[in-house]
Structure 1
C-alpha cells in the first residue's frame, strides 16, 4: 500500500491528510471496560491519542485531552468523547514545559475528579540524514517533549492515583530498531520503554501498573509533517504486513492496559508493529 506524496508543516493536521486516518470513529464498539475511570491523554488531538480517547470514552471513561495547538483536531476529539456520553476536558499547551505538565494533571484532578489512567503519548520527531544537521535545540526539544514530559506527568499523577490505576507510555518499534534518520526520537522511545519498566517496579506496591506500547509505522499527522514526500508515499510498505497501521488498530491495546482485563500486566512493552519484531 502506498500513500500520495504529501507534506505539511509540523505538528500537522488530520484534515489535510490523504487518506484521512481511521481513529475508530465509525468502528470502535465499547463494552464498559473503563466505566467510571478518568484518563489524561497527551497528544489526544490526533493520531494514536485521538483513537485512544475515542475508545476510552466508549468504554465509559471521562477524558482529559492534552494537545499542543491543533484546536480543530482537539475539538473533534472532544466531540466524539461527548457523543459517547462522557466528559471531555480540553487542555491546550506544550508538554515540553514541566509547569504545564503539572498544571494539566492538576486540572484533570480538579475538573474531572481524579486520575485513574495516564497515557503519555505526545511526541515530536524530525527526519535528518546526518548527525551534523540535527540542531542542538531540536535535540533538547525532542527530549523535553517525548521523555521529560512523561517523567513530570507521572510524578504529578501518582499522588492522586489509587490501586488499580495505570500509566501507559507510547514507545516505538524505534526503541530497539532505531531508524538512523530519527536519532533523537528513537533515543527517547528507548528511554520511555526503560522508564516504564522502572515505574512498574517502583509503583507496584501502590497497586499502580505501568506499561508501554511500541507502535510500528502508524498513519498520523506526524508522518507528512516530519518526513520527506518520497518516504511518506512508501510509509509502512516495508513491514511484513505490507502497510502502515491505522490509529484505530492501537486503541484496543491501550484499553487492555488501562482496565481490569490487564490487572496483572505491568512492566510490559506491547508491540503493535505490523510484524516488525521487538525482542
Structure 2
C-alpha cells in the first residue's frame, strides 16, 4: 500500500491517465494512504461517515483514517469499481463496516437514494465529507465549452448541494460537515478557471451554511479543507506527463503532498477536538500562505 513512496520523496515520474477522475491503482508511486505511526484512539467511536469521492486519493485516506478511529464508513464514487473495492477492503481491515455506492453526485435523485441506502444499512450519518471533484485543464477560457463547464459545476458544487440537502435531515447536534475546497479558491489557476471557480463557490458555501446552521441552533458544524498539490488520481488524469513530473515542486516545501498528510485535517474537524470550530478552512498546501 505504501511501497515506493520513499523512492520519490519530492515528486513522481512522468505519467498520464486518460479517464477522469482517475484510477489510484495505476499510479506510481502509490499514494500514501495512512501514516504507519498513526495509532487510533477512538476519536470517532460509534460514528458513521459518508464520503463522496471516497474510493481514492484524499477520500480513501480519510475513509481509512476514520475507520482506524472507530467510524463505519460509506463512500460514493463515480465508476472506479476497483478503487472502491480496495477502499472497502482497507476500511474492513480496520475492523469497521464499509458501504460502497456507485453514484454520480450530480444526479440529485440518485444521491437521495444513495443517502437512504446509507441510513438503511448503517443506521445514521454523523459526518459528511463532500470530496468528489473533477478538473479539466484548458489553456484559454474560450476552450471551456458548455459541456465541460456544466460537468465541472455539476460535480463539484451542485453535487455538494445535492448530498448535503439529502443528509442534513438525518444529522443531529454534534455532527459535522467537511467540504473539500482548494488552494485554487484563494490563488486561482490559469489552466483551471472553471475548477477554481467551483472551489471558490465551495469556500463560500462552507461559510454560508455554517452561519445558517448556527442561526438555526442545530449544533452542526461546517468546515472545509483546502489542499494544495496532493498526489491523487486526479493529477495524472488531468495533466500531461511533463506537468506531472513537476507536480508540487513549486511549493515552499518543494514537494507534493500525500493523501496521508491531508486526512488528519478531516479527522480533526470531524472529532470533538474541533467542537468550537465552524465556518473555517484548514490549509494543507506545503507552506503557501493564502490568508483566507
**TM-score bucket of the superposed structures, by smaller chain:** over 0.9
Which runs of structure 2 are paired with 1:189-268 in the superposition (5 Å)? 189-204=199-214, 205-268=217-280
Which runs of structure 2 are paired with 1:113-152 in the superposition (5 Å)? 113-152=123-162
Give the secondary structure class of the aligned counterpart of 1:225.
Answer: coil
Give the secondary structure class of the aligned counterpart of 2:128.
Answer: strand
Counterpart position of 2:6: none
Contact 2:52–2:129 (Cα < 8 Å) also in 1? yes
Contact 2:48–2:72 (Cα < 8 Å) also in 1? yes
Find the aligned partners of 2:131 and 2:62 in 1 and give their Cα distance.
10
**Which ranges of structure 1 fall in alignment gaps of 5 or more residues?**
none
TM-score (normalizing by structure 1): 0.98
Give the secondary structure class of the aligned counterpart of 1:180.
Answer: coil
Counterpart position of 1:272: 284
Contact 2:49–2:73 (Cα < 8 Å) also in 1? yes
Deviations 1:95-150 (A, max 9, x none): 11111221221111111001100000000001111111112111001001000111
Contact 2:103–2:111 (Cα < 8 Å) also in 1? no
Alpha-carbon distance change, 2 to 25 in structure 1, aligned in 2, over 3 angstroms: closer
Counterpart position of 1:10: 19
Find the aligned partners of 2:185 and 2:128 in 1 and give their Cα distance.
20
Give the secondary structure class of the aligned counterpart of 1:250.
Answer: helix
TM-score (normalizing by structure 2): 0.93
Find the aligned partners of 2:234 and 2:90 in 1 and give their Cα distance.
21
Deviations 1:248-267 (A, max 9, x none): 00111100111111111100
Deviations 1:170-203 (A, max 9, x none): 0000001011100111001111010010111111
Give the secondary structure class of the aligned counterpart of 1:9.
Answer: coil
Give the secondary structure class of the aligned counterpart of 2:191.
Answer: helix
Find the aligned partners of 2:259 and 2:116 in 1 and give their Cα distance.
28
Find the aligned partners of 1:218 and 1:178 in 2 and give their Cα distance.
16
Give the secondary structure class of the aligned counterpart of 2:158.
Answer: helix
The number of residue pairs the alignment matches comes to: 279
Give structure 1 regions of 4+ aligned residues with deviation exceeding 3 angstroms: 25-28
Deviations 1:52-101 (A, max 9, x none): 00000000000001111111111111011111111100101211111122
Deviation at 1:27, TM superposition (A): 4.6
Let me know the Cα RMSD of the aligned residues: 1.0
Give the secondary structure class of the aligned counterpart of 2:187.
Answer: coil
**Which ranges of structure 2 fall in alignment gaps of 5 or more residues?**
1-9
Deviation at 1:2, TM superposition (A): 3.4
Find the aligned partners of 2:136 and 2:189 in 1 and give their Cα distance.
11
